[in-house]
A and B are shown apart, each in its own frame.
Chain A
Amino acid sequence: MLNGLLTGAIYGLVALGLTLVYGVLHIINFAHGALLTLAMYAAFVAWKVFGLDPYVAILPLVPLFYLLGYGVQRYVIGPASRGEDSNILLVTLGLSIVIENMMLAIFRSDTLSVQVPYAMEVVELGPMLLGFPRVVGFGVAFVVALVLFVLLTMTDTGRAIRAVAKERTGAALVGINVNHVYAVTFGIGAACLAVAACLLLPFFYVSPRVGNAFVLVAFTIVVLGGMGSVPGALLGGLFIGVVESLSGLYFGDSLGQIGIFLIFILVLLFRPTGLFGAKA
């Protein structure tokens, strides 16, 4: 249960990037899972080749993925979509196919994992023993959410992002470069993924399809928390983490994820604005 809560925070972090991109660009980014996979492989390579601890690898990977996300939105998704919903769906799907299979071609389908000395360490919290990497993940996820919140509310960039999210034409009229803001938002979303990947790596495996395990979960969290809502994403993440560990407990491992999908379908059918979302 508590472990579910801890994993949930990282789910929340993955969903954070997705919800931000949705809130501002109003696009559903199918490549999100594949980008997470890419980030996990990047962190793995950093550990294997350069001997960087996954937590240290956050430092170089965040700017790297910010730039990558910026470039992908500015030069691939933006021009290809021409503002049409269905085109964005298809382009991000295409991107996810490309990324996933490039990883497959390079690393093959074996699952890889890193060995770090603290992977098995536990933190004692009263009567409970908690995995050390999960506790770190939980803490960092909240720090990232806080930083993001400050960024969005206090800085000029954040104000521009929120302006574009609310009223694109109006924002363009007062001199905001909308395409730049879109790309920045996408970059921030990708940077969140880089953090999530580094936090996951010490206690999770990497495989070319690992992102898929997270992407539907992330979508569930995003619709649950209300599309575009930052606190919604975090709360939704915690909730889903708990649901997953509970349904895994009751239905067994093979059916564990079904609880998530059912919640997802039910929320989409009956309350597509999410539990915390504004009325459409």
Chain B
Amino acid sequence: MSTRDLVPILVFAAVAALLPVFVTANTWLNFAVFTLIICLAAQGWNILGGYGGQYSFGHAAFFGTAAYATAILQVRYGVNPYLGFGFGIAAAAVVGWIIGALSFRSGLRGSYFALVTLAFAEVFRVLANASEMTGGAAGILIRLDVRPENFQFASRATFYWIALALVVAALVVTRALERSRLGAQLVAVRENESAARALGVDALQVKLSAIALSAAITGAAGALYAQYFLYLDANIAYGTWISVEALLAPIIGGAGTVFGPVLGGIILHGLSEFTKSLVGRIPGVDLVIFGILLIVVVRFPPREIPGLIRMWRGRR
């Protein structure tokens, strides 16, 4: 990875970091933090789905595991939140590796992989909803105690910068992956698994590394969510909504590209705020638009919004 690779990322970081200087209203910062959390979860999905071509429909399993791990360690065992944050990410990576080992070893791919990941996420959701440890259906509340050493900040801007730092870190990781041997092997597996294996790529090992990394990044999003909102229940942590959001953003912004998930996340949430301001709070309308957008984007190759714009420009 050369310094030239990092320039666009640094430009993005610098521009985005200035946002709280201009925007001070809490609702807007809330919206920005939430969008960044979704972007981070989507960046995780992008590693496995975008670069590896393994479409997971159950990234909630990783999001929720890290979120619950962070919350439970703090609330029940008094572990320092920063440490808990790290444990949460590690837990998500382990869960990712296990799910990957089970399903990739059995040779599941394509729709079957999507189905099995969806089922794993649902199992976690049902368990979390019933277990004592997670607070059951009532959920789990992290005690409000605003001190920096508690990973709780009085100003939303601080949180915004932390979320941004994580998104930027994920951008760098993604770029480094793109330039690495593992990244090249992952793309080879996506394009043609048998051919990649014939060339000596250990496809199973490559996919396992990818799913663990992918789960860790999406897990970071989950842990951040827990720390920001200070409340979790099974339908938030393991709900289908996060699996879907993590998948929609990269697909719409460009799967298998460094900036795709971030772009997609911003487009989706910008659009959703815009429709809310247009039609008021009718539940579901923004998601209808997401769904239509997804169908339209898939309908017309090259299947991503930046590509569509390039094509439209070329035609003129």
Binding site for B on A (CB under 8 A): 27-28, 76, 79-82, 85-91, 93-98, 100-105, 108-109, 208, 212, 216, 219, 223, 252, 254-255, 257-258, 261-262, 264-265, 268-270, 272
Contact = CB atoms under 8 A, between A and B. Distances in A.
Given A94-B294, A258-B126, A104 B119 contact: no
B291 A269 contact: no
A265 B283 CA distance: 33
Contact of B106 (A87, A223, A270): A270
Contacts of A208: 284
B60 to A, nearest CB: 13
A216 B119 contact: yes
Interface stretch (B32-40, B110-118, B143-151, B210-218): B110-118
B127 interface: yes
B285 interface: yes
A109 B281 CA distance: 13
14 contacts: A28-B114, A80-B298, A87-B303, A95-B291, A96-B291, A97-B288, A101-B284, A101-B285, A101-B287, A101-B291, A104-B287, A105-B284, A105-B285, A257-B126
> Per DSSP, are chain A's interface residues mostly helix, strand or loop, or mixed?
helix
Nearest to B53: A86
Contact of A94 (B53, B129, B295): B295
B14 interface: no
Interface in B46-73: 53, 55, 57
Given A94-B291, A254-B129, A269 B102 contact: yes
A219 B295 CA distance: 22
Contacts of A27: 111
A179 to B, nearest CB: 16
B103 A212 contact: no
B123 interface: yes
Nearest to B102: A269
A216 B115 CA distance: 9
Contact of B115 (A79, A91, A101, A268): A268
Nearest to A34: B291
A252 B285 CA distance: 36
Contacts of B110: 85-86, 89
Nearest to B49: A86
Contacts of A80: 295, 298-299
Contacts of A96: 291
A192 to B, nearest CB: 20
Contacts of A261: 119, 122-123, 126
Contacts of A82: 301
Given A79-B299, A90-B294, A255-B126, A97 B111 contact: no
A262 B102 CA distance: 13
Nearest to B123: A261
B294 A89 contact: no
Interface string B106-144: 101011101110111011001101100000010000000
B294 A264 contact: no
Nearest to B115: A219
* Listed residue (A96, A216, A252, A265) with the most chain B CB atoms within 10 angstroms of its CB: A265
Contacts of B114: 28, 89
Contacts of B283: 101, 104-105, 108-109
A91 B127 contact: no
A91 B295 contact: yes
Interface in B267-316: 282-285, 287-288, 290-295, 298-299, 301, 303
B185 interface: no
Interface in B154-173: none
Given A96-B291, A254-B129, A268-B108, 19 more contacts: A79-B299, A80-B295, A86-B53, A90-B55, A90-B294, A91-B298, A93-B57, A94-B293, A94-B298, A98-B288, A104-B287, A208-B284, A216-B122, A252-B130, A254-B130, A255-B130, A268-B106, A268-B119, A272-B106
